Structure 1
Amino acid sequence: MTLAHSRPLDSLTNLSSSPFSLQIAPIPNIPEISEGDDLGVIIAKCLENAQLSLTDGDILTSAHKIFSKAEGAVVNMADVTPGQEAMRYAEELNKDPRKIEVILSQSKRVIRSFKRPEQNEGTMICEHRLGFISANAAVDESNTGEDGSLILLPHNPDASAKAVCDYLSRHFNARIGFAITDTFGRPWRIGQVNVAVGLADLPATIREQGNLDAHGRLLSVTEPAFADELAAASGLVIRKSAQTPVVLFRGLDWQKTESAAQDLLRPNKENMFK
């Protein structure tokens, strides 16, 4: 049985490789990120300050917001002029029309919008320009660093993950993987979990089709969403109030793979709920 351990920050140096355990630990003391910051350098320094060195097979995940801030994917609502469509949604949903204008700018389409009587403001379910389906096209107001600002997904999360992954691989001379995450709701389920929105060198899924289960039966459809499982597990140790967006995984068996977060998107032709 694989065990997951959330280790306190003062015991990170006890991380070690073991074939029988999965170890998960947040990297402490990630500073407030500003536009132009070099995240590879910053993460490497934080690892070294925690007396950690990356080894072959390690995986890092990171909440997208530090990438968005470093890349300037932050919008000040004072600079936004809403159009007619945004004004129409604002009246329907009791939302700030400037925020809606930004949501629309990040969306391919609005799938559904609604406001329940008990809600102060409504919700927009959108297809993001990158293909992800989420509330408000992943436009968020939390942890932006300043009032009246909105944070967006990075322009190209896969490329962002790859740049940092390559830097850390060279710096520590290790084969590692990297995933950028965001928090999404889920159809038919209460609450939110982290999912992968950017990948570097990690498989998006693990194809089990053609393998046998424990009782010798052939697996025909089993395909665990490896990257999303990592992302969800990172949420167990990330604390939004503690500035620990980067999480280290050690002890997983995986193969370096060229992939993209879009590989996790179900094709529209398979949508059974249209």
Structure 2
Amino acid sequence: MTELRVVAPDGIGEVRTGDDLAALLVDRLAEGLTDGPADGLADGLADGLADGDVVLVTSKVVSKAEGRVVRGTRDELLPAETARLVASRGPTRIVRTRQGLTLAAAGIDASNVEPGRVVLLPVDPDASARAIRSRLRELTGRNVAVVVTDTAGRAWREGQTDLAVGAAGLRVLEDFAGRRDDYGNDLVVTAPAVADELAGAAELAQGKLGGRPFAVIRGRADLVLPPEDDGPGAVALVRPDGADLFGYGAREAVLRALLGDPDDAAAFGAPSEVTELVEVVARVGGTARVDDDAVVVSGDVSPDSLQALAFAHGWLVDVPDAGEGVRLRPRRTSP
């Protein structure tokens, strides 16, 4: 039997700039987690953390402790926190943040903070997790993993869930590639994002309005790395720009392809294969033939349409030779 236990202690109180988050948690555990008799994991935690525990802490209190509470509004502060716009609908902006995360309003939070101020994400959530992990080991002598969590929506799914934006001392992915299931099928790409799963489990105990920014999970010590190994961090869960099939929202993708700004090209990914390009040219009413490393397009395709199609597929439009048609060449992906 496998058992996973989650405890989110009450009574942490308001976190302010300079607070020692590790000490806050350790002190709270020393005081006891419940007003009445403790039991289960709570009873075990009354004696402190154990080797193999996973400590989860919300990004909001990490940001508060690191002085990331600033005066202003989301709209005023969004540009500075944005690497690029992914999608927009009315006032809603989904952006890729400077940390590489894709979040609504760059994760800027205006809840549980004084009016006129907002909370920005930690500058480097993985570094924050490493610092908390190191401090917990200093205070307790225990080898634990630390996950910094934040709340995000999901494409195609209603509602939100917590995920890992920072991590230290944790295998953030379980790689099953190369294994076989009970039927003998090879597992090729199965890699559960266990750091995100732990973040979601922790949020069930913390709640959104409970004032419980910490959670401790016991039962997955197999994911916790040795003390000297902080692991790859949650950044390992972020797909590189261009490797994601959904680098832009539907409307934004159309606009970006039409504008053809070279700075936008990376999010469309590597140049498509020749066969794919020939097929899409046919779908918009043209004909195409392959000529060495180029594709020559003729037929009833407007120049603007062809330019946008080529840009979205990672190809460039050459100046056409008289009577030859328009030549497309793959965009170089490296110098």
| TM-score interval, smaller chain | 0.7 to 0.9
Instruction: State the AA in 2 paired with 1:41.
Output: A
**How far 1:101 sits from its partner (Å)?**
2.2
Q: Which runs of 5+ in 1 are unaligned?
A: 2-19, 78-97, 116-121
2:109 alignment partner in structure 1: 140
1:107 alignment partner in structure 2: 82
> Aligned partners of 1:189 and 1:148: how far apart in 2?
31
Give 1:143-154 correspondences, 5 Å limit: 143-144=112-113, 146-154=114-122
> Aligned partners of 2:224 and 2:210: how far apart in 1?
32
2:308 alignment partner in structure 1: none
**How far 1:162 sits from its partner (Å)?**
0.9
Q: Of residues 99, 117, 121 in structure 2, which corresponds to 1:130?
A: 99
> Aligned partners of 1:165 and 1:220: how far apart in 2?
33
**How far 1:114 sits from its partner (Å)?**
1.3
> Aligned partners of 2:65 and 2:59: how far apart in 1?
10
* Superposition misfits of 4+ residues, deviation over 4 angstroms: none
2:280 alignment partner in structure 1: none
Give the TM-score, by structure 2 length: 0.66
> Aligned partners of 1:125 and 1:263: how far apart in 2?
21
1:24 alignment partner in structure 2: 6
> Aligned partners of 2:194 and 2:172: how far apart in 1?
6
**How far 1:58 sits from its partner (Å)?**
0.4
Aligned to 1:235, the other structure's residue is in SS state: helix
**How far 1:247 sits from its partner (Å)?**
0.5
Q: Does residue 272 in structure 1 map to residue 239 in structure 2?
A: no
> Aligned partners of 1:196 and 1:70: how far apart in 2?
18
> Aligned partners of 1:131 and 1:139: how far apart in 2?
14
Q: Does residue 43 in structure 1 map to residue 25 in structure 2?
A: yes
- Aligned residues, how many? 229
Instruction: State the AA in 1 paired with 2:112.
Output: N
Aligned to 2:106, the other structure's residue is in SS state: helix
Identical pairs, percent: 37
- Which whole-Å deviations, capped at 9, do the CAs of 1:210-238 have from their partners, x for residues lacking one? 11213232211100001111111111111
1:195 alignment partner in structure 2: 163
> Aligned partners of 2:236 and 2:59: how far apart in 1?
18
1:216 alignment partner in structure 2: 184
> Aligned partners of 2:21 and 2:92: how far apart in 1?
32
Q: Of residues 90, 99, 124 in structure 2, which corresponds to 1:156?
A: 124
**How far 1:273 sits from its partner (Å)?**
3.2
Instruction: State the AA in 1 paired with 2:121.
Output: L
> Aligned partners of 2:244 and 2:217: how far apart in 1?
33
Q: Of residues 201, 211, 229 in structure 1, which corresponds to 2:197?
A: 229
1:69 alignment partner in structure 2: 64
> Aligned partners of 1:63 and 1:69: how far apart in 2?
10
Instruction: State the AA in 2 paired with 1:248.
Output: V
Instruction: State the AA in 1 paired with 2:234.
Output: A
Give 1:59-98 correspondences, 5 Å limit: 59-77=54-72, 98=73
Aligned to 1:68, the other structure's residue is in SS state: helix
> Aligned partners of 1:245 and 1:28: how far apart in 2?
9
> Aligned partners of 1:163 and 1:273: how far apart in 2?
33
> Which structure's relative contact order is higher, taking Cα pairs within 8 Å and 6+ residues apart?
1
2:256 alignment partner in structure 1: none
Aligned to 1:262, the other structure's residue is in SS state: helix
Give the TM-score, by structure 1 length: 0.80
Say if 1:215 and 1:128 are closer, same or farther in 2 by CA, change over 3 A.
same
**How far 1:153 sits from its partner (Å)?**
0.6
Aligned to 1:190, the other structure's residue is in SS state: strand
